[in-house]
Homo-oligomer: A and B are copies of this chain.
């Protein structure tokens, strides 16, 4: 059992469980499995065929694609609770990205036919999945524009703000509640690791952020927003 404080129970996955009828709840409880993934463990790989719907119950996950020359691009950072790897399932294709735990994770696996039955019997399930898609497509399109058009400083600032939006702060309201390597930060911001390190240093010098190892504090949020906006 991972020691992340959360009970490994699909009842804690509101997007799905909370909208079901009592009958469907029973059906779901009897027809899903719980899986644990350790930090750095791969959850699925590009090319794998999805066998069902994954729900991230607790932990954090990065979803990334191999680009030109093996350079990896992180296309999604996932916080719990959230659907995972569902694009390939509903497109009826193989996965076009890989997913890796960046913290110990609990994942609920719902077989393909089970989730399709639930979608058919419950309109809210369908609506929630549609909404997840719609929100994620919006995010992805937004990112396409900013990753291609913003300069390094703007891209990095934006990425830090996204990490804040996705994972939030620790109790001090300033420390990002996620630990990433410089390489991950670079792959999320479409830049080389060198440039991510260099630009983080610049931000520290400008007192926009504070860095201690992999711990990042956002010291001057308005300024970071400004850097992100300006591009």
A136 at the interface (CB under 8 A from B): yes
Residue of B86, B142, B148 near A147 (CB, 8 A) is B148
| A162 interface residue per 8 A CB criterion | no
Contact partner, A96, options B88, B93, B129, B138, Cβ 8 Å: B138
Tell me, yes or no, whether A27 is within 8 Å of chain B by CB. Answer: no
Check A134/B133 contact, CB under 8 A, given A119-B126, A141-B75.
yes
Partner of A90, one of B131, B146, B150, B154: B131
Write out the residue numbers on chain B whose beta carbons fall within 8 Å of the beta carbon of A73.
Answer: 144-145, 148-149
B133→A90 contact, CB < 8 A: yes
Q: Give the secondary structure class of A's interface.
A: helix
A88 contacts which chain B residues (CB < 8 A)?
Answer: 134, 138
Chain A, interface size category, equals 35 or more
Complexed CA–CA distance, A133 and B83 (Å): 15
Q: Mark A112-149, 1 if CB is under 8 A from B, else 0.
A: 00001001100100110111011111101111111111
Asked whether A231 is an interface residue with its Cβ less than 8 Å from the other chain, the reply is: yes
Q: Tell me, yes or no, whether A67 is within 8 Å of chain B by CB.
A: yes
Residue A159, interface by CB 8 Å:
no
Q: Contacts A126-B119, A149-B68 given; indicate if A131 touches B91 (C-beta within 8 A).
A: yes
Q: Provide the bound-state CA to CA distance between A133 and B144, in Å.
A: 17
The answer on a CB contact under 8 Å between A71 and B149 is yes
* Residue contact A87 to B137, C-beta cutoff 8 Å: yes
Q: Which residues of B contact A131 (CB under 8 A)?
A: 90-92
Q: Is residue A98 within 8 Å, beta carbon to beta carbon, of the partner chain?
A: no
Whether A65 is near chain B, meaning CB under 8 Å from some CB there, is: yes
Nearest-neighbor residue (CB-CB) of A124 within chain B = B120
A123 touches which of B69, B93, B119 (Cβ 8 Å): B119
Known: A87-B134, A89-B134, A133-B133. 14 other contacts (CB 8 A): A68-B150, A69-B231, A71-B149, A73-B148, A75-B141, A75-B145, A88-B138, A91-B137, A93-B134, A93-B138, A119-B127, A137-B137, A140-B144, A144-B144
Interface residues of A (CB under 8 A from B): 65, 67-69, 71, 73, 75, 86-93, 96-97, 116, 119-120, 123, 126-127, 129-131, 133-138, 140-150, 154, 190, 231
